[in-house]
Amino acid sequence: MDSQINLPSSLEVSRINALPSAAYYIPDFISDEEEQAILNKVETAPKARWRQLTHRRLQTWPSDLVQDTLLDARPLPDWLEAPVVSRLLSIPLSDTEPNIFTGSPHGRPNHVLINEYPPNTGIMPHKDGAAYYPVVCTVSLGSSLCLNLYKSKQDGALDPEPVWRILQEPRSLLITTADLYSEYLHGIEPISADIDLSEQTVANWSLLRSPSSYTDGLNQRQTRTSLTYRDVLKVSKLGAKLGPMFKRR
């Protein structure tokens, strides 16, 4: 199954050069079949798994964080582990670092947030905060949209005009880390279409799978689902003890 996916020989090949340190974009990270299989699992998850916000709904695996701590130390379910985590860990970061989670407390992501964005929904500009090792791996499913990056002004207030946009296509992997994690904010505008897309306005244009799909500069949004993989720094010991009593769902 893996044979149809061509991974880069190192993340350096996939670096988004227009951005500060550091972001990487891999367009065909999973196959159509893998995308469908994951979407099917997301959609058929028990109702209680979903948390409904005003416009968006989300799932957390294996559980929510409580005071920045993962209480539930169960491993990720198989459908979130393979193929994404194994593939992610197989890509060298550099000559000396085997992968992007080398040096993180658990050496791999232990938490996945699933967000569903129908057209006209987004997420306010924010930083991801201190609960996580500063590496965010996002797999996009179903539809393309732009992630905006923002900077705070001198006075600390948010400049509402994004400094960059990253176009995330379905089946792509985006990794953000370092300054992009700590210094910049990210968000998604609640719009029905991303407009004015071009080599000049999209930071990862040269890495896109299908730039010719946007020659009119337009991306009409459909429902986009994202899987955000991170390593939560603190995992409760109590959770680890209780872990074996639970069955994987």
Output the six-digit token pair for 134.
């500063």
Burial (CB < 10 A; 0-12, 13-18, 19+), residue 172, is buried
**Pairing mode, strands 123-126 and 111-117:** unpaired
Of 98 and 187, the one with the shorter C-beta distance to Fe ion is 187
| Binding track, positions 42-81, relative to Fe ion; x by CB under 5 A | ----------------------------------------
Q: How far is the CB of 96 from ligand AKG (least distance, A)?
A: 29
CA contacts within 13 A on the Cβ side of 130? 2
Contact 243, 116 (CB under 8 A): no
| Residue found by looking up tokens 């080398």 in the block | 102
Task: Give residue number: closest CB to ligand AKG.
Answer: 226
Q: How far is the CB of 42 from ligand AKG (least distance, A)?
A: 13
Contact 171, 29 (CB under 8 A): yes
Query: Can you tell me which of 14, 104, 138, 148 binds ligand AKG, judged by CB under 6 A?
Result: 138
| Binding track, positions 109-128, relative to ligand AKG; x by CB under 6 A | ----x-x-------x----x
Contact 215, 198 (CB under 8 A): no
Q: How far is the CB of 137 from ligand AKG (least distance, A)?
A: 10
Output the six-digit token pair for 101.
């989670």
| Residue found by looking up tokens 């169960």 in the block | 74
Region 218-247 residues binding ligand AKG, contact defined as CB under 6 A: 226, 228
Q: Is 186 in the site for ligand AKG (CB under 6 A)?
A: yes
For residues 24 and 17, give the distance between their C-alpha atoms in angstroms, rounded to a whole number: 9
| Binding track, positions 141-180, relative to ligand AKG; x by CB under 6 A | ------x---------------------------------
Per-position b or e across 7-43, b if 16+ CB within 10 A of its CB? beebbeebbbeebeebbbbbbbbbeeebbeebbeebe
Q: How far is the CB of 6 from Fe ion (least distance, A)?
A: 28
Q: How far is the CB of 145 from ligand AKG (least distance, A)?
A: 8
Of 92 and 221, the one with the shorter C-beta distance to ligand AKG is 221
The residue ranges that bind ligand AKG (CB under 6 A) are 113, 115, 123, 128, 138, 147, 186, 226, 228
